[in-house]
């Protein structure tokens, strides 16, 4: 089968919106969020927002109900299901958090298509409050990448996935993303890999300004229809090449 590794950013890639922004706006946290924005790193700010919701009597179920209203485009759902059924190994690599991503993917019935969701971990504490923790602990194990926020270097994770996957024959990567946090992992891709930057978003801008830095083949997309079409085409092309090479 296809035997490819397909890694998706989540916000503005899998979903067209941003899950953090969605919860902040829909649950009435925008004024506090904006007030604190300059004082806290993003990850800590979201943790603070969850504390605020808890103090207002909002439960984890309320947050889940809010997340289930996030639209997930039918063409993206179809793309995920097709890539999975074609034998690709699918992962999410995101600076959102486990609870938000899991809730949305499960709601649309595609969580099982992913072998892993790599993101900031969450738990519900004894008082019923949703806690969000950094993926990398910047105090005990800082990642030393100056392209990425302290809580998550996606490039390091691409290297880790690659180290594990070379045993399984999943050597070809397709990476889909939009944001500045997707620059570092895109730089880690090599020849034979593909990067799918969302057109007119920060990753795309960065690639356009210095394409020679990126070794992977570049395939831009704008919307869910294009994402599906290009992704499935790339999977077919790559698996045909692999068959011809007998690998």
Q: d(Cα 140, Cα 142) in Å, to the nearest integer?
A: 6
Span near Mg ion by CB under 5 A; candidates 153-161, 171-179, 214-222, 224-232: 171-179
- Tell me which H or E stretch contains 189: none
CB of 220 to Mg ion, least distance (A): 15
Q: d(Cα 96, Cα 67) in Å, to the nearest integer?
A: 12
Number of residues this chain uses to bind Mg ion (CB under 5 A): 5
Q: d(Cα 109, Cα 103) in Å, to the nearest integer?
A: 10
With CB under 5 A as the contact rule, the residue among 9, 47, 170, 228 that binds Mg ion is 9
Q: Which does 179 bind (CB under 5 to 8 A by kind): Zn ion, Mg ion, none?
A: Mg ion
* The residue to which tokens 């949305």 are assigned: 104
With CB under 5 A as the contact rule, the residue among 5, 7, 12, 90 that binds Mg ion is 12
32 binds Zn ion (CB under 5 A): no
Q: Residue 11, annotated ligand binder?
A: yes
Q: d(Cα 228, Cα 221) in Å, to the nearest integer?
A: 9
11 is catalytic: yes
Query: Hey, how many other C-beta atoms are within 10 angstroms of the C-beta on 82?
Result: 15
Q: d(Cα 178, Cα 196) in Å, to the nearest integer?
A: 8
Three-state DSSP state, 215: coil
Whether the CB-CB separation of 120 and 151 falls below 8 Å is answered with yes
Q: Residue 62, annotated ligand binder?
A: no
Q: Is the Cβ of residue 32 or residue 145 nearer to Zn ion in the bound state?
A: 145
Running DSSP on this structure, what letter comes out for residue 86? T
With CB under 5 A as the contact rule, the residue among 20, 178, 193, 228 that binds Mg ion is 178
Q: Is the Cβ of residue 98 or residue 239 nearer to Mg ion in the bound state?
A: 98
With CB under 5 A as the contact rule, the residue among 155, 177, 179, 181 that binds Zn ion is 155
Q: Which does 155 bind (CB under 5 to 8 A by kind): Mg ion, Zn ion, none?
A: Zn ion
* The residue to which tokens 């890539």 are assigned: 83
Q: Residue 17, annotated ligand binder?
A: no
Q: Is the Cβ of residue 3 or residue 149 nearer to Zn ion in the bound state?
A: 149
Residue 147 to residues 109, 152, 155: CA-CA distances in angstroms?
A: 34, 10, 9
Q: Which does 149 bind (CB under 5 to 8 A by kind): Zn ion, Mg ion, none?
A: none
Write out the binding residues for Mg(2+).
Answer: 9, 11, 178
Q: Which residues are catalytic?
A: 9, 11
Q: Which chain residues interact with Mg ion by CB under 5 A?
A: 9, 11-12, 178-179
Write out the binding residues for substrate.
Answer: 20, 95
């Amino acid at each position: 089968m296809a035997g490819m590794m397909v890694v998706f950013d989540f916000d503005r890639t899998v979903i067209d919106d941003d899950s953090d922004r969605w919860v902040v706006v829909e649950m009435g946290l925008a004024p506090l969020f904006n007030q604190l924005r300059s004082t806290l790193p993003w990850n800590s700010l979201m943790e603070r927002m969850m504390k605020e919701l808890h103090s207002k009597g909002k439960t984890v179920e309320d947050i889940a109900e809010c997340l289930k209203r996030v639209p997930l485009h039918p063409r993206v759902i179809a793309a995920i299901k097709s890539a999975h059924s074609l034998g690709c190994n699918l992962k999410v690599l995101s600076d959102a958090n486990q609870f938000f991503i899991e809730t949305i993917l499960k709601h649309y019935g595609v969580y099982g298509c992913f072998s892993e969701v790599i993101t900031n971990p969450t738990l519900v504490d004894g008082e019923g409050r949703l806690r969000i923790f950094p993926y990398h602990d910047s105090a005990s194990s800082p990642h030393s990448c100056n392209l990425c926020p302290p809580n998550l270097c996606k490039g390091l994770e691409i290297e880790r996935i690659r180290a594990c996957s070379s045993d399984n024959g999943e050597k070809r990567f397709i990476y889909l993303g939009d944001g500045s946090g997707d620059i570092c992992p895109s730089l880690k891709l090599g020849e034979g890999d593909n990067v799918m930057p969302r057109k007119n978003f920060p990753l795309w801008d960065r690639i356009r300004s210095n394409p020679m830095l990126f070794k992977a083949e570049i395939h831009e997309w704008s919307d869910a229809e294009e994402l599906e079409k290009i992704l499935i085409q790339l999977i077919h092309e790559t698996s045909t090449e692999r068959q011809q090479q007998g690998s």
